[in-house]
Amino acid sequence: MEHPENDKEYKGLQVNGGVGSQPTVNPYRKSMPHHRRRQLTAGEYVEGILKGDVSVLGRAVTLVESTADEHQALAQEVIEKCLPYSGKSKRIGITGVPGAGKSTSIDVFGLHVLRQGGKLAVLAIDPSSERTKGSILGDKTRMEKLSQQKDAFIRPSPSAGSLGGVARKTRETIVLCEAAGYDNIFVETVGVGQSETAVHSMVDFFLLIQLAGTGDELQGIKRGIMEMADCIVINKCDGDNVDRAKLAAAQFRNALHLFPPTPSKWVPEVITYSGYYELGIDEVWGMIDRYFDYVKKTGYFETKRNQQAKYWMIETINEHLRNNFYHTPEVRALLEQKEMRVLNNEQSSFTAAKDVLDFYFDHMRAKG
């Protein structure tokens, strides 16, 4: 219907046509050349990292996480050059089932560490992140207070690849962070499976966060994970949960008595605390300091680091061999044929495997 205001005879204010909807592209915007950041050289990466430049560190970690061959070659060069400056941090693994309070605790533990004058990197290993397209572990939004601190570097889990691959990237990121002056490294993981073993193989101290009052106190935590723990901390010891937390602590202490002695001979402790209300944080950290004093005195600190270095060398070799093997097109073609033969009962799995391996080694020899 026509507005009566638009009638020629109408004496009042007229309705204006207005303007159509705005173009989606701002016509005043000067066209910008497609902007790509120049790739730094290995030397520039190393220089930035050693200066503690967070943006260069972040880019170097992205490089480490990249699966592109040329990035990997550059990343390895950067890592190699950073190695002599690494190794001086306290590496602490933190695990617990979802909801145990990992992010809340890391937030307050982290602030505690920073108050003592250090720098802290929080990394994560979350093998599920490939499926869910992005890890929630080590996510800045979960560690609100810490993420505002200039001396804290928080990085979610690398997402591409197998658990072994993800873990190796985190281990390499530790080297970069240490070279950048981070003297405390937290590696977070979900306490549900394999990833603990990976974390355990790269940290000096392994902290298991547990909860009380969920019925069976040894809930959902595999025996293997408890065996790896240098300390079990019972979180949420606050309000009307205090008694239950203390009871759970006693039960864990009893359970730990039944375990064989740890390789370090350190007797794992059980401590209650509240991450949310920041109660008992000094006790937890006092215990961690005691552990580091102890293993440095006994020499176990070095022993374990050496074992880990060996482990990662072998792991890296395994991964490269596997990648090389499965990415060789001739091998893949032969594998397909052999799979058919095995499925049709024309050849056994073992002779088929041997044929493919023989072919691979011959192929490599001919290439070399």
- Would you tell me which residues interact with ligand GDP (CB under 6 A)? 96, 98-104, 235-236, 238, 274-276
- Give the residue with the Cβ less far from ligand GDP, 93 or 165: 93
Nearest distance from C-beta of residue 102 to ligand GDP, angstroms: 3
Classify residue 6 as exposed, middle or buried by CB count within 10 Å of its CB (0-12, 13-18, 19+): exposed
| Angle between helix 54-65 and helix 69-82 axes, rounded to 10 deg | 130
Nearest distance from C-beta of residue 103 to ligand GDP, angstroms: 4
Classify residue 74 as exposed, middle or buried by CB count within 10 Å of its CB (0-12, 13-18, 19+): buried
- Give the residue with the Cβ less far from ligand GDP, 210 or 308: 210
Q: Which residues contact 36 (CB under 8 A, 6 or more apart)?
A: none
Nearest distance from C-beta of residue 253 to ligand GDP, angstroms: 20
Report the alpha-carbon distance of residue 249 to residue 24 in Å, rounded. Answer: 61
- Give the residue with the Cβ less far from ligand GDP, 46 or 185: 185
For residues 135 and 157, is the Cβ–Cβ distance under 8 A?
yes
Nearest distance from C-beta of residue 16 to ligand GDP, angstroms: 53
- Give the residue with the Cβ less far from ligand GDP, 90 or 142: 142
Nearest distance from C-beta of residue 289 to ligand GDP, angstroms: 21
For residues 273 and 234, is the Cβ–Cβ distance under 8 A?
yes
- Give the residue with the Cβ less far from ligand GDP, 104 or 308: 104
Nearest distance from C-beta of residue 151 to ligand GDP, angstroms: 21
**First CA to last CA distance, the chain:** 84
Nearest distance from C-beta of residue 219 to ligand GDP, angstroms: 14
Report the alpha-carbon distance of residue 216 to residue 271 in Å, rounded. Answer: 18
Comparing CA positions, the residue from 63, 73, 69 lying closest to residue 39 is 63
Report the alpha-carbon distance of residue 121 to residue 297 in Å, rounded. Answer: 25
DSSP state of 191: T
- Give the residue with the Cβ less far from ligand GDP, 200 or 236: 236
- Give the residue with the Cβ less far from ligand GDP, 183 or 238: 238
Nearest distance from C-beta of residue 244 to ligand GDP, angstroms: 12
- Give the residue with the Cβ less far from ligand GDP, 235 or 264: 235
Nearest distance from C-beta of residue 296 to ligand GDP, angstroms: 30
Helical H runs in the chain?
A: 42-50, 54-65, 69-82, 102-115, 129-132, 144-147, 163-179, 195-200, 223-228, 242-257, 281-298, 300-326, 329-343, 349-367
Nearest distance from C-beta of residue 321 to ligand GDP, angstroms: 36
For residues 166 and 135, is the Cβ–Cβ distance under 8 A?
no
Report the alpha-carbon distance of residue 54 to residue 112 in Å, rounded. Answer: 21
Residue recorded with tokens 């699966």: 67
- Give the residue with the Cβ less far from ligand GDP, 89 or 241: 241
Cα radius of gyration (the chain)? 28
Phi, psi for 238 (deg, rounded to 5): -150, 165
Cα torsion 240, 242, 247, 252: sign: positive
- Give the residue with the Cβ less far from ligand GDP, 195 or 235: 235
